Chain A
């Protein structure tokens, strides 16, 4: 169903369907338009905003839903509320590595924490619904921009220089004289406005001056920036473009670097924590007296490339690529990746040292060290005494019916052993050893195995990062700020002059009428022409009275 073109009742100009203000004389065609948009009916110079005309098909209805500023604001509000909720408790990636999230939230934040976890709010920013909301925001921005950008384009690039007499009276700033003014005065005004960087178009006795038109595109430019940012955040979900992984590597260990398909390996040669020395820094000695202040966290690593990447699990054939000392804020960079120092873990045990004691309480032979990950099965104490490790459990739980030790987990947290002391010519003596306790298994043991010391297993926690989406965010923000700048600080000013039967002048700007008035009055004053009147000021004065 085609909408009819509209003939202006005042001047007879034929306007396209949906027009709000007559394109020639500026008279209101749609009475309601003025009531709704009291502030500035001239936004699109009254030309039709498509979505406001009529919705027909389903597509149109969906489209119109997203072009609505109100709906756009609702989407933004929903995103803001959701984003705020995501900050009530830490997101899952901020809770300690290896902690069970369900337990962690319940333990630290009680019932609310439990709910938070159950509702999936611990991974809010990558939840499907948050993602969809952002997609809808993108749609809203694009739809609203097209819907308003097209009429704006028409408005700005198809302007008539010649305006109907009544148009002048309708503008906020106007100056209407009884008679015409001399031609040289007009040309003087023209040249003065030109100096103020106005562009001039003429049509007989009609003049139109315009500057700062580009600023009208400000909102569209900053929205393009936003779209680019949303696009960048979308790309983060695409495989390989954004990586944020944890590498847990114990001292002396070599592990595959995640997401490299076992192409790269990293070895932790040494992890260092250096604290500030109280003696060395006179000025800070008081502060350092009571607290340990760390100067440096550092992991010395070697990076390897795997030359045997065939099948999962196949033994890697490593070739050293590089050595590096990773410090806080000094990541190791390779192949688009960055490896940062994140934290360390010394909660596990690496080894335990024992020594053998005879019945008189004298130490026999040298102490022996049991590696808790890959323990040896025999330890030579003297020429005729050997200790066999009969059983070992890294995280002792109980002794099984068949006499073996049962472990709760494979992590050496609570080790327990059954040692057998074999002395030549004597019966073997067995005892069960665990942290804080030693129980003889065989009767009348002559020897005692004593715990000497334990060494912690220090593991460095590194984060692996790769972010190819950053340029989108950077460029997006620059474009956004540029759009914001030109939209905020540059004014689109237009001045119309008609000098046929009488001198008429009107002026319009999208913002800062005060500045325009000042600029214009300076010109008019120098030509001895009556200054412009400001309808807004007149109405205000009327109201005040």
Chain B
């Protein structure tokens, strides 16, 4: 491997065209479905950031979706904050909560971290059930006057919530993209590929992980506020549902491809296709989804996007760097594992 000339490539040329072709899914007319699509895309992107890059497999992100939802109701009802503005505030509140929580759950290593985050989510669920001025265990609806303050007509309201959802999700993806291309991103990808090696190279693993955790929790809370703004009603079991806000999100990410920005995008598209075709099957739908995730994990652990990317070398969101050897005595194949 001596005296090789090489260059470092960040993006495949084809991918720039794909990005420029833009968000082609935008022209779906079913806005409710599209809104939900962006909710899951945002949550899956954040979960992917945690699990795929920092190895933080959280089964408790529903805690922050719920906190976001409750922030909306608490801030709007008690302080009169316009509902639309509660979304960024929910993100800030969740970030503030996530810091002390991270001190606790980061004491648990690897797999125990997963269940630890779940316990934390249970605690928030139980606390929300005790919050009697927000309806306790049975939940509460958003008062009519506040609903009107979002938008004067029903259609107007739905547009505003929809565009805010799209805005937040796109902002999350862009933020994740920028984060991963920054110095922190290089550190995070180094952690993903080998934690001990990264630490040896001078990466502050603990700080990078904590930063990521807080960012992911803030994002989940913003999406949570939007989810319950469109539902107009919140209850502890709906807000802190492990199935709705974590299980689906994990399946989406795993099937699409963990550890790549494109994975959740593919995963969310597949998830909605599956849901539209299998929704009549009831519990069978979840069985199929679970089996698909287990199958992917066993036979193609990089997910569907991983298979495509390895086969064709695609990168829609170029965050990796690849070593391209030019001239000289070219060895067998250029290493492109770090995509």
Tell me whether A and B are bound partners. no
Using CB atoms and an 8 Å cutoff, list the residues of chain A in contact with chain B.
Answer: none
Chain B contacts to A: CB under 8 angstroms: none
